[in-house]
A and B are shown apart, each in its own frame.
Chain A
């Protein structure tokens, strides 16, 4: 086993990847939310009790 020392460039790249993953997760959250609304559509208004 050897220990890898992260360089500044590698840390910067890792930070950018983390930000990209976070943005994708937020986008997916919004996407699923809107899709739920779209798929429910008028069914909410038409629902029976």
Chain B
């Protein structure tokens, strides 16, 4: 369209987010991809690609990561499209492009769909179809199973929905091997078990937000004490789960020691949340657990990566 006007249909209730917006900025579209979440996805997928047995051409490995990142971003855009009504009720999410009215819901939907299809096709054509199938399932799981169904219907939303965030290392692994095996599933399990205490810690100090939006997060439905109990159970379960790559004979002693220290610290922070139940101390403990949980996940995967690369160095130099 060359002139500076556009015909738009104005219908009652057509858009619940203010007046017509003539498209957001490039930064708004980038924000739809949830770049902060994407960084964790890319990192865990990167570890999956590097530690997987066999090899992949570095260029194809980079493409696999690009596709996984775009696929994750696409599911973020679909999530923002569907959740715009509740996002505008929460402080943390009210300034997102769709609820803020900078991007139209339909634009976010088509942007997310286009990137979903594009990333899956690109991964399939350029890398392999097993990884592409897993990526498609991940996007479907996050956008449909979690966002459209579980999030608004059950306090177990992030327990089951956490699978979506746990898939990236499996997709990265499958990009190299073309399959899924026990070790890649152990990486899946670490993130899967990490997700509930991570989000419940956040929900403990953002309960009013979730209450206002009517999202049945654990503290809203079962109360903070029950949430603390469940956080502790998951945190204790994280210890053996974190060590599972070692128990499966995939990781070495360095990983065992570091994994044990990191997961024990996780359980300790969860214990503090369990014990500190009143006032500012309770909120501080929840915030500390939330902050540490991010450090924990990055560190566990970083240790796995470092150990793997270090074990390959002598071979590389000898070769």
A positions within 8 Å CB-CB of B: 1-7, 10-11, 13-14, 16-17, 20, 31-32, 34-35, 38-39
A45–chain B nearest beta-carbon distance, Å: 17
**Distance, CA A2 to CA B19, complexed state (A):** 12
Distance in angstroms from B272 CB to nearest chain A CB is: 45
How would residues 23 to 66 of chain B score, 1 for a CB under 8 Å from any chain A CB and 0 otherwise? 11110010000000000000000000000000001011001000
The one of B7, B23, B24, B57 that contacts A1, using a Cβ cutoff of 8 Å: B7
In the complex, besides A2-B8, A6-B4, 19 extra interface pairs with C-beta distance below 8 angstroms are A1-B8, A1-B9, A4-B6, A4-B8, A4-B22, A6-B22, A7-B22, A13-B22, A13-B23, A13-B24, A13-B26, A14-B23, A16-B25, A17-B26, A17-B29, A31-B63, A34-B59, A38-B57, A38-B59
Question: Interface residues, chain B, CB within 8 Å of chain A?
Answer: 4-10, 20, 22-26, 29, 57, 59-60, 63, 126
Q: How many A-B residue pairs have CB under 8 A?
A: 52
Interchain nearest-CB distance for A25 vs B (Å): 12
Give the distance in Å from the alpha carbon of A2 to the alpha carbon of B7 in the complex: 6
| Docked complex Cα distance between A32 and B23 (Å) | 29
Task: Assess the A35–B63 pair: CB atoms within 8 A.
Answer: yes
Are the CB atoms of B10 and A2 closer together than 8 Å? Answer: yes
Q: Which of chain B's residues have a CB closer than 8 A to the CB of A14?
A: 22-23
Cβ B60 vs Cβ A35 within 8 A: yes
Checking A4, A17, A20, A32 against B20 with a beta-carbon cut-off of 8 angstroms, the contacting residue is A4
Q: In this complex, what residue of B is CB-closest to A27?
A: B66
Q: How far is the CA of A3 from the CA of B7 in the complex (A)?
A: 5
**16 pairs from A and B in contact (CB 8 Å cutoff):** A4-B6, A4-B7, A4-B22, A5-B5, A6-B4, A11-B4, A13-B25, A13-B26, A14-B23, A16-B26, A17-B25, A17-B29, A20-B26, A35-B59, A35-B63, A39-B60
Instruction: List chain A residues, Cβ under 8 A from B7.
Output: 1, 3-4
A43 vs B9: C-alpha distance in the bound complex, in angstroms?
55
Min distance, Cβ A43 to any Cβ of chain B, angstroms: 13
What is the distance, in angstroms, from B111's C-beta to the closest C-beta of chain A? 11
Once bound together, how far apart are the Cα atoms of A3 and B4, in whole Å? 10
A12, B169: Cα distance in complex, Å? 39
A4 with B5: in contact, given A38-B59, A38-B60 (CB under 8 Å)?
Answer: yes
Contacts of B59 on A, CB cut-off 8 Å?
34-35, 38
Residue from B23, B29, B57 within 8 A of A10 (CB atoms): B23
Closest 9 CB pairs of A and B: A10-B22, A6-B4, A20-B26, A38-B59, A13-B25, A4-B6, A35-B126, A16-B26, A4-B8
Instruction: Return chain A residues, CB-CB under 8 Å to B9.
Output: 1
Contact in complex: A3, B63 (CB < 8 Å) = no
Residues of B within 8 A of A31 (CB): 63
Tell me, in angstroms, the Cα distance from A6 to B64 when the chains sit together: 39
CB-based nearest A residue for B27: A16
Distance of A34 Cα from B156 Cα, bound (Å): 45
**Complex contacts, B8 vs chain A, CB 8 Å:** 1-2, 4
Q: Once the chains are docked, how many angstroms separate the CA of A16 from the CA of B23?
A: 11
User: Across the interface, which residues of A come within 8 angstroms of B22, CB to CB?
Assistant: 4, 6-7, 10, 13-14
Tell whether, in the assembled complex, residue A3 and residue B5 are in contact, meaning their CB atoms are under 8 Å apart.
yes
Determine the distance from Cα of A5 to Cα of B5 in the docked complex, in whole angstroms: 5
